């Protein structure tokens, strides 16, 4: 079982004619880490992944997988990488085992070890119950697992996953998320996603791209805290509509609204909770309960990509 190797990007540039897709991109992926890659459409996420995997050569800078320079030795680097492209096609006419056996052959695995390699990929991707089934008869969730299994068949220490849960239903997303978490314990995993809750659940660190540049490489917790947004949930005695009017005029409050028998406030400032409490009490309301939740990854992400 692989244990992961580091991946490092240093000042990577990539252009398509006059279009600059990547501009001075630098970050690292640590062994045993699941690193999230975020950014709006066109930010450069897929280009970054294709440069790492050696399918695109950088116009400047360097990518290293372990001790291999991907630009100089792309074939050797690919032996260390399992790549799941977005919407990866799989042949619908083959069985799961037949397709993975073919992938093992393409990867030039020794004949004597191919069967065990396929068995391991099937086991890791949770395909045991459908191993002899024709791929075209499988659900989309299982077809996505087959696509992931082909990235695992040569037991790579690095996995590059481009939108691995795109188009899946909520149950399939949860299953795929659990699978990625398990794989990340043994490998270096970089994955992109538009589901920020998914990234928060799987990753300690994220890289955020915008217009081809890295705008943040931070711990999820630090980014969320840096968002500077707090959510307050209040339960009061008295006229809640009047209380909302009072709170909307308080400095730092961005919004206040009644939800059922509570008031939800969104605003900025480390002392927002204290100021809200003081305001409602001074106006004669009884403060029964106050809960404070700090900002989240979504707010930090939106703030960064809008700048």
Bridge partners (DSSP) of residue 265 are: 232, 256
Please give the pLDDT value at position 296. Answer: 62
User: Mean pLDDT over residues 10-22, rounded?
Assistant: 96
Question: What b/e string do you get for 191-204 counting C-beta neighbours within 10 Å, with b at 16 or more?
Answer: bbbeebebbbbbbe
Residue 240 has pLDDT above 90, yes or no: yes
Please give the pLDDT value at position 257. Answer: 93
Distance CA 215, CA 109 (A): 40
User: Mean pLDDT over residues 236-258, rounded?
Assistant: 92
Would you give the DSSP letter of residue 263?
E
Under 8 Å CB-to-CB from 169, ≥6 apart: which residues?
Answer: 141
Q: How does residue 47 score in pLDDT terms, banded at 50, 70 and 90?
A: very high
Distance CA 246, CA 29 (A): 48
Please give the pLDDT value at position 250. Answer: 92
Supply the Cα-derived Rg of the chain in whole angstroms: 24
Digit-coded pLDDT (tens) for 172-230: 888 888 888 888 888 999 999 877 777 877 888 999 999 999 998 988 777 766 556 77
Residue 1 has pLDDT above 70, yes or no: no
Please give the pLDDT value at position 273. Answer: 82
What is the architecture, at CATH level 2, of domain 228-294?
2-Layer Sandwich (3.30)
Work out the angle between the directed axes of helices 140-152 and 111-124 (0-180°, nearest 10): 140
* Average pLDDT of the residues of the chain: 89
Task: Please check whether residue 130 is in contact with residue 92, taking contact to mean a CB–CB distance below 8 angstroms.
Answer: no
Q: What share of the chain is helix, strand, coil (3-state, %, to 5)?
A: 40, 30, 30
Q: How does residue 299 score in pLDDT terms, banded at 50, 70 and 90?
A: low
Largest Cα–Cα separation, the chain: 80
Taking the model in full, what pTM does it have?
A: 0.76
Q: Where are the domains of the chain?
A: 7-224, 228-294
Digit-coded pLDDT (tens) for 255-296: 999 999 899 998 877 677 888 988 988 899 988 888 877 666
Residue 22 has pLDDT above 80, yes or no: yes
CA angle 48, 52, 55 (to 5 degrees): 90
Please give the pLDDT value at position 161. Answer: 95
Under 8 Å CB-to-CB from 26, ≥6 apart: which residues?
Answer: 9, 10, 11, 12, 61, 214
CA distances to 43, 228, 293, 297 from 253, in Å = 32, 12, 14, 20
Please give the pLDDT value at position 19. Answer: 95
What are the DSSP calls for 13-81, one per residue?
EEEETTEEEEEEEEEEE-TT-EEEEE--TTSSHHHHHHHHTTSS--SEEEEEETTEETTT-HHHHHTTE
User: Mean pLDDT over residues 78-85, rounded?
Assistant: 94
Task: Please check whether residue 9 is in contact with residue 28, taking contact to mean a CB–CB distance below 8 angstroms.
Answer: yes
Digit-coded pLDDT (tens) for 96-149: 999 999 999 999 999 999 999 999 999 999 999 999 999 999 998 899 999 999
Bridge partners (DSSP) of residue 83 are: 160
> Is the domain defined by 7-224 classed in CATH 3.40.630.40?
no
């Amino acid at each position: 079982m692989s244990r992961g190797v580091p991946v490092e990007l240093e000042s990577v540039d990539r252009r398509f004619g006059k279009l600059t897709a990547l501009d001075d991109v630098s970050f690292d992926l640590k062994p045993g880490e699941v690193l999230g890659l975020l950014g709006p459409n066109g930010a450069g996420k897929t280009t970054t992944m294709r440069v790492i995997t050696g399918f695109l050569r950088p116009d400047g800078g360097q990518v290293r997988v372990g001790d291999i320079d991907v630009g100089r030795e792309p074939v050797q680097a690919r032996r260390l990488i399992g790549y799941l492209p977005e919407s990866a096609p799989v042949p619908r006419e083959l069985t799961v085992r037949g397709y993975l056996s073919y992938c093992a052959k393409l990867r030039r695995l020794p004949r004597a070890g191919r069967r065990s390699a396929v068995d391991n990929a099937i086991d890791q991707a949770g395909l045991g119950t459908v191993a002899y089934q024709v791929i075209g008869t499988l659900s989309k969730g299982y077809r996505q697992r087959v696509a992931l299994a082909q990235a695992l068949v040569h037991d790579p220490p690095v996995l590059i996953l481009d939108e691995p849960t795109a188009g899946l239903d909520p149950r399939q997303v949860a299953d795929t998320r659990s699978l990625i978490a398990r794989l990340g314990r043994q490998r270096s995993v970089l994955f992109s996603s538009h589901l920020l809750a998914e990234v928060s659940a799987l990753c300690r660190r994220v890289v955020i791209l915008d217009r081809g540049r890295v705008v943040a490489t931070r711990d999820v917790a630090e980014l969320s805290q840096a968002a500077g947004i707090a959510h307050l949930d209040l339960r009061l005695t008295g006229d809640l509509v009047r209380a909302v009017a009072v709170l909307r005029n308080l400095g730092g409050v961005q919004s206040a609204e009644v939800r059922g028998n509570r008031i939800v406030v969104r605003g900025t400032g480390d002392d927002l909770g204290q100021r809200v409490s003081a305001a409602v009490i001074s106006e004669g309301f009884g403060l029964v309960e106050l809960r404070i939740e700090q900002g989240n990854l979504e707010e930090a992400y939106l703030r960064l990509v809008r700048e």
